[in-house]
Amino acid sequence: MNLHQMGVAALGRALRDKQVSSTELTQHLLARIADQAPLGAFLATNAEAALAAAQAADAALAAGRGGALTGVPVAHKDIFVTDHARTGLPTTAGSKMLAGYASPFDATVVARLAESGMVTLGKLNCDEFAMGSANENSAFGPVHNPWDPRRVPGGSSGGSAAAVAARLVPAATGTDTGGSIRQPASFCGITGIKPTYGVCSRYGMVAFASSLDQAGPMARSAEDCALLLSAMSGFDPRDATSAERAPQDFHAQMLGTRAGATAAQPLAGLRIGLPQEFFPDGLSADVAAAVRGALAALEGLGATLVDVSLPRTELSIPVYYLIAPAEASSNLGRFDGVKFGHRAAQHADLLDMYKKTRAEGFGPEVKRRIMIGTYVLSHGYYDAYYLQAQKLRRMIADDFQACFQRCDLIAGPVAPTVAWALGQQRAPLQDYLADIFTLPGSLAGLPGMSVPAGFGEGGMPVGLQLIGNYFDEGRLLHTAHALQQATDFHTRAPAGF
């Protein structure tokens, strides 16, 4: 058995069949993580706590109490707080501001995956406070893309995507505010789903833009994502925007049969909308070709492609880059050196302490966003910027509803290009513009996925984006799973991994 090549579902079965123990699996992956330290994917591991959790899982498995995830390793984006006493792991949010911070509790998503028997291997690198598209805004160094170490893994969940692609862990958590699960999944050739806003609890997720932040799984297949999402989602009274719904079995929904489906045409009757704005002239030819190829495969499985329009797609960029910084400027007010995190060593008085703490603790992108956000919320500019952006946000959401009158799912590219070169010092605006295809769905609060669709320039992976209507994760996963039964892009590993 090649343990690190196996996915979540296969490992769960092997563990229940006693072909491998969780302890053995955990040791194997921890050694692999140590060997692959130059990738920069992990910020912290704790062998003692991981092996204790693995032993507990092995005891449950021995007693016949193992579920689908019991004993399967996972790692968390370092934006989720992890109880330091339980896991021995710090929580940094990729920021110097929280370097060495020991959380006294677990995020709900972390707690639920632990309760399902998953073994936490460690914390994954990410852009500082999840602000970025390349993981280069992390205070703890960049992450290298396993497909080409000279390229970025995407962001902000870059460590999660790289770790899963490099077979260091079969699945990871990520968060997506404006594309941070989908874009790194696309850049690293893995599968990721951002659920409908409210499906996963935000409790214990270090807040960036609260009206947009959403957690989700990143793994190597739709099936593995479905297994994790079932365990990590669900109503949480500790998150005021948590959706009040019964627990969902996304794996069963993924396996379900569509009315009218046949073995050869499992997607018969499915209408997939292609917004013309998602295929602009500026879309790179390699990405367009891979996405068209995946769409042809979906057609071959019985789906029908229909032309739709999301006329405010371009406006999503200014709307998001006003609303997200506005919320961030408010959320990040708590990092003032008083209650937790970094505190400047030298200061004259309280105000000076605040100023120096924040000047020292935050990186340049975070400071830029705090300043933009403070400006657009200020008296005199609020109506012109923030309020206007909120109105447009509503219109963007309405555009999607008009599309869903004519189709069941929407498809397009995740990003306009494959992963770019590391260390280029791109202008911030260049990165913001590259978010064009993920921001509309985020602003509308809709679920979205990235599914491996092929390879482009330099042999780099390309992701197909699928966007569903509210709470339609089951259909997204079903469609992605059908595609993965017919194609093998998701099974390919980068050379040397």
The residues annotated as belonging to the active site are: 77, 156, 180
Closest approach of ligand GLN to the CB of residue 157, in Å:
8
Q: Report strand pairing: 73-77 vs 214-219.
A: unpaired
Q: Determine, following the binding rule CB under 6 A, whether residue 179 of this chain makes contact with ligand GLN.
A: yes
120 to 159: interface string for ligand GLN, x by CB under 6 A: ----------xxxx----------------------x---
Q: Kindly report the CA angle at 62 between 56 and 67, in degrees rounded to 5?
A: 75
Q: Which is nearer to ligand GLN, 50 or 79 (CB)?
A: 79
Q: Do 108 and 29 form a contact (C-beta atoms < 8 A)? A: no
Site string for ligand GLN, 286-325 (x = CB under 6 A): --------------------------------------x-
Interaction pattern, residues 180-209, with ligand GLN; x per rule: CB under 6 A: x---------------------------x-
| Nearer to ligand GLN (CB atom), residue 132 or residue 454 | 132
173 binds ligand GLN (CB under 6 A): no
- Segment contacting ligand GLN by CB under 6 A, of 32-40, 102-110, 170-178, 241-249: 170-178
Minimum CB–partner distance for residue 243 and ligand GLN (Å): 19
Closest contact distance (angstroms) between CB of 197 and ligand GLN is 12
Encoded tokens for 1: 């058995």
State the amino acid at position 71 in one-letter form: G
Q: Which is nearer to ligand GLN, 46 or 177 (CB)?
A: 177
Residue choice 145, 177, 313, 487 for contact with ligand GLN (CB under 6 A): 177
Distance CA 439, CA 64 (A): 45
Site string for ligand GLN, 322-341 (x = CB under 6 A): --x-----------------
**Residue 95's CB: how many other CB atoms inside 10 A?**
28
Q: Identify the burial level of 251 via C-beta atoms within 10 angstroms of its C-beta, where 0-12 means exposed, 13-18 middle and 19 or more buried.
A: buried
CB of 389 to ligand GLN, least distance (A): 14
Give the residue at shortest CB distance from ligand GLN: 180
Residues forming the site for ligand GLN (CB under 6 A): 130-133, 156, 176-180, 208, 324, 435
